[in-house]
Amino acid sequence: MMRIMFIATYSYRVPKNKIDKFLDIERRTRKVYFRHGCVEYEIFKSDNDWCFEINRFKSREQYESAKKSVDADPEIEILWKEFCTIIDKEKIITQKYERILPSW
């Protein structure tokens, strides 16, 4: 069983009328992240249109390495531009967490 030791989270609001386009972008984005080392990629939606994205990695080092290679991937630049037509990038809330207590 793989131990997840590091996660990055992103919260942002997605307008109801843009959810289908958003999901299409996120499905393609997830493939890019998996190619570069992300081990889990999930998105949750609240009743008030906020989405919560969780990207999981084996370690902080793996996250840093994956982030560099994702950022250098030409496909992600295209997806980011599409994503920014849906959400306000200035209102994205980003957090990073390192495991300090193992799960049971």
Residues β-bridged to residue 13: 50
Edge-to-edge strands, sheet with 6-13: 40-45, 50-57, 6-13, 93-98
Given a cut of 70, is residue 102 above it in pLDDT? yes
Rg (CA), the chain: 14
CATH fold for domain 6-98: Alpha-Beta Plaits (3.30.70)
pLDDT range class, residue 101, cuts 50, 70, 90: confident
pLDDT of residue 4: 77
Q: What is the pTM of this model?
A: 0.90
pLDDT of residue 104: 65
* Residue ranges covered by each domain of the chain: 6-98
CB-based contact 44:51 (threshold 8 Å): yes
- How far is 85 from 103, CA to CA, in rounded Å? 38
